[in-house]
Amino acid sequence: MEKKQKRKKEDVKIKTEFISEVIGKPVVIEVGGKEPIAGIIVDNSKFWIKFQDVNGKIVYLNKAYLKTIIPLKKE
């Protein structure tokens, strides 16, 4: 009888958060059906993004309502 070899499952890490790539960098954010907002992502939590617009105003955005985040400078 042949023995079946057990294959080890490779530890595959799936990246589910990309916000860390754009923290502190200029971005344009589209929220729902409203006009895009330009600014900088200051901080990030599980459900919220702390965002500073070009006028210096701090806005807290719920991630559930974000449509897109577009980085303005590519490094």
7-61 pLDDT, tens digit per residue, is 555 666 666 678 888 899 999 999 888 899 999 999 999 999 999 999 999 999 9
The encoded tokens of residue 68 equal: 């897109």
Rg from Cα positions in the chain? 19
Q: Find out whether 27 and 39 touch, Cβ atoms under 8 Å.
A: yes
> What is the model's pLDDT at position 73?
78
The pTM of the whole model exceeds 0.85 = no
